[in-house]
Structure 1
Amino acid sequence: MRSSYFTFKGQTSLYVFVAVLFLVGVIFGALMVNALSLEQRQDLEGYLGNFFMTVQHSSQGVDSGTYWDIAMLHLKWVGLIFILGLSVVGLPGILVLDFLKGVLIGFTVGYLVGQYSWKGLLFALVSVAPHNLFVIPILLICSVAAMTFSLYIIRNRVLMHRSPSRQRPFASYVILTLAMAVLLLGVASFEAWVTPAMMRWVTPMLLPV
């Protein structure tokens, strides 16, 4: 295998497929908002009301524990994708994770907009969008790398199409995943220290007068 095993040019179709799957998840999540019962909507409204109050009255500083909670959440997601990519049976699981990530984002934004109109959209823009502009591409890159390595295992272990340099794809896979994990640590710092400040700027608009 060549060292450029995980290049964008060589995996364009997989990137398109994963991106479309994620977008389908976003749409599905947004549509799920309409399926909520009145009781579920009331429960969510009460939870968000308490959350907005907590954000509004929270201190300006963020401790390192909060940062590591956010960082570990992202790293666990990438770690799970990495582990699934190490096996043949993990391939469908990678697709499920990408779809679920889209559902979570679609549902969150869809509910905020449906419940609070333009104010909800503004809150979503400061609380959901900024870090996800980096998190989503990173997760898609990790997913494509995991799918590529899983397909490599299928070709070499299941179909018996042996490659003379089997260690290179694994090394490239590990290095790429570690690089994405380091980037996520940087994104987590933004999410931990910058995002709360932007949220405190918007939450007064969402609190009842």
Structure 2
Amino acid sequence: MRSLRLMMKEQTPLYIFVAVLFLVGVVFGALIVSALTLDQQQELGDYLGNFFVTVDQQGLPAAPDSYWDIAALNLKWIGLIWILGLSVIGLPGILILDFLKGVLIGFTVGCMVSEYSWHGMLFALVSVAPHNLVLIPVLLVGSAAAIAFSLLMIRSQVLGQLRSPVARPFVMYTVLSFGLAVLVLGISGFEAWVTPTMMRWVTPMLVSKG
């Protein structure tokens, strides 16, 4: 446990780097919304309107049914980051995933605000923000650990700068990733059971506005 804490402390600059990369993705995703053509904005508005009407009238899938879909999706992010961290060539992929996650969130929130003003912001706060306040730091910690291990592999295998075995860092990296995966299961439970309830509270306002 002490080794894990020390490892995470040493990776602080990487946390800052991936956090900035994620935030750049968020801004980029929000800017994409303003770059949409009128036809694309109309199609997006129609899609959102139909979605809110469906949620208001029929609700969302039952939590037990949606939980495993949500958990599987979130675990895929953790698993893919872990796999990319094991390879020398996986470093760019980790950075792309962090940027892409930011773009997805920025685009989603941007769409809500663009179409529904402050009502859209309220919906984003209850549907996007709560679980992502924990999920995003988890993904960023996993990404920083993956980048650190990938750099270690580069120094060891490509540059030949390290003579010490990478078995211990690999174990620490894997244990950390496993712990993050367990956290993701808990976050997915919140997203499956609590988030839909909050979404149903806000949806009627969006339907009436539409």
- Do they fold alike, i.e. is TM over 0.5? yes
Separation (CA, whole Å) in 1 of partners of 2:181 and 2:25:
23
Matched with 1:21 is 21
Distance change in 2, residues 1:103/1:6 (3 Å): farther
In structure 2, the CA distance between the partners of 1:177 and 1:4, relative to structure 1 (3 Å rule), is closer
Instruction: Give me the TM-score of the superposition, normalised by structure 2.
Output: 0.94
Equivalent residue number for residue 180 of structure 2: 180
The equivalent of 2:150 in structure 1 is 150
Q: Aligned in 2, Cα 1:151/1:6: closer, same or farther, shift over 3 Å?
A: farther
| Separation (CA, whole Å) in 2 of partners of 1:43 and 1:140 | 33
SS at match of 2:48: helix
Match of 1:35 in 2: 35
Structure 2 residue ranges without an equivalent (≥5)? none
Residue identity opposite 1:49 in structure 2: G
Q: Greater share of helix residues, 1 or 2?
A: 2
Measured in 2, the distance between the counterparts of 1:6 and 1:54 equals 49
2:67 alignment partner in structure 1? 67
User: In structure 2, what is the equivalent of residue 189 of structure 1?
Assistant: 189
- Cα drift, residue 59 of structure 1: 4.7
Aligned length: 208
Structure 1 residues not aligned, in runs of 5+: none
Instruction: After TM superposition, give the deviation of residue 165 of structure 1 in Å.
Output: 3.7
- Asked if 1:116 corresponds to 2:116, the answer is yes
Residue type matched to 1:183 in 2? L
The letter of the residue matching 1:88 is V
State the shift of 1:58 in Å: 3.3
CA contact (8 A) 2:59 2:200 kept: no
Task: Measure the CA separation in 2 of the matches of 1:146 and 1:81.
Answer: 7
> Using the alignment, how far apart are the partners of 2:5 and 2:60 within structure 1?
45
Contact 1:113 1:120 in 2 (8 A): yes
Give me the identity figure in percent.
Answer: 63
Identify the residue that residue 127 of structure 1 maps to in structure 2: 127
Q: 1:118 to 1:63 in 2, by over 3 A?
A: closer
Partner Cα separation in structure 1 for residue 103 and residue 160 of structure 2: 37
Q: 1:4 to 1:165 in 2, by over 3 A?
A: farther
1:6/1:145 contact within 8 Å kept: no
Aligned-pair Cα RMSD in Å? 1.7
One-letter amino acid of the structure 1 residue matched with residue 7 of structure 2: T
